[in-house]
Amino acid sequence: MSLELVCPAGNLPALKIAVDNGADCVYMGFKDNTNARAFPGLNFDQASAREGIRYAHAKGKKVLLALNTFPQADKWQRWQAAVDNAAELGVDAVILADPGLMQYASRTYPKLRLHLSVQGSATNYEAINFYHEHFGIQRAVIPRVLSLAQVEQVVKNTPVEIELFGFGGLCVMVEGRCSLSSYATGESPNTCGVCSPAKAVRWEQTAQGLESRLNGVLLDRYGANEKTGYPTLCKGRFEVNDETYYAIEEPTSLNTLEMLPQMMEMGIAAIKIEGRQRSPAYVEQVTKVWRAAIDAAKRAPQAYNVNPAWMAQLGKLSEGQQQTLGAYHRPWK
């Protein structure tokens, strides 16, 4: 199977730049809370979605649409209309998390290809196969909690294609189950499509350092040369027993370049790049690096070596101080 590179597009220029630089697929969302990057000014309206799909298809690339928040009971029609719109626009697949929406999509548009979003939080083959049997899910994006050995077990026991995250910001990674943001702001990804909504975020340069606050809660205070991260509760430094430290998780970026040959060997269908909230410049730089890496790994898997220039480029784009292989690299079971 050929490994696909799936790149983020928060707007039309990012979509085009991803396609131009070697993405096999781009994923995007509509301009509302039907997707988990519902930030002001981001995402696609009808005209830009149509143009984006036209552009990608003209170059033989695919467009995936994220409809990966959970419909709220009083606004179900919004999510239903988004599925209708996606089918009408002719996207290559919709990425869903909610079983109710999967049922609607699979019954109404039997030919529409369905992907299981990472927000669906399926971490074992039983769960994935359940979605496959009931709704015909053809691909699943795996939450960033499994080791590579565990991913391999999943791949061996399901007919569903498996997509893994390859690069991008990491959070506490209980995807689809995290409501930390709601704790401080009343809004979190599953229900409102946003973690740490911008309206609740304040950055302020003070005499003690650069402070980030979420709805008034002090998340972190950065020294002059410290790299910052996204203003989320999981990445804050907190006082615990008279000690101030990253009590939940340190800001890091996932980078799995060195595992590419193993991922290909075990039959992973696609590598996903995080970052629909980032600008076209990020999309261009990340897409170039991953295209080069995937091509190198396909050409000669045995001779594959991570080019230091790739690592330097991705390091520059990363959030926080470091990059990690995340849960993928974990010798214990």
Partner 1 sequence: MNLPAFNIPSPIAKAISMLPTYPPSFVLSHVLNLALGRLIDPAALEPLRGKLIGIHVTDAGLKFFFSIGNKGFVARKSGGTPDLAFSATAHDFLLLATRKEDPDTLFFSRRLLVEGDTELGLIAKNTLDAVEMPRFDVAELMPRKVLGRLFA
Contacting positions for partner 1 (CB under 8 A): 10-14, 39-42, 48, 197-199, 201-205, 210, 222, 224-229, 277-282, 284-285, 316-320
Q: How far apart are CA 313 and CA 315, in angstroms?
A: 5
End-to-end CA distance of the chain: 28
Q: How far apart are CA 174 and CA 172, in angstroms?
A: 6
Q: How far apart are CA 23 and CA 291, in angstroms?
A: 7
Residue placing its CB nearer to partner 1 in the complex, 80 or 285:
285
**From the CB of 303, what's the least distance to partner 1, in Å?**
30
**From the CB of 201, what's the least distance to partner 1, in Å?**
4
Residue placing its CB nearer to partner 1 in the complex, 139 or 276:
276
**From the CB of 285, what's the least distance to partner 1, in Å?**
8
Residue placing its CB nearer to partner 1 in the complex, 46 or 103:
46
Residue placing its CB nearer to partner 1 in the complex, 12 or 160:
12
Residue placing its CB nearer to partner 1 in the complex, 2 or 225:
225
Residue placing its CB nearer to partner 1 in the complex, 119 or 215:
215
Q: How far apart are CA 183 and CA 62, in angstroms?
A: 37
Both structure tokens of 15:
């979509």
**From the CB of 230, what's the least distance to partner 1, in Å?**
8
For 22-50, give one letter per residue: b (16+ CB within 10 A) or e. bbbbbbbbbbbbbbbbbeeebbbeeebbe
Q: How many CB atoms lie within 10 A of CB 94?
A: 23
**From the CB of 300, what's the least distance to partner 1, in Å?**
30
Both structure tokens of 170:
């990491």
Both structure tokens of 71:
């419909």
Q: Please state, in angstroms and as integers, the Cα–Cα distance from residue 280 to each residue in 10, 37, 228, 325, following that order.
A: 8, 16, 20, 25
Residue placing its CB nearer to partner 1 in the complex, 42 or 112:
42
**From the CB of 10, what's the least distance to partner 1, in Å?**
7
Is residue 164 a contact partner of residue 272, using CB atoms and an 8 Å limit?
yes
**From the CB of 204, what's the least distance to partner 1, in Å?**
6
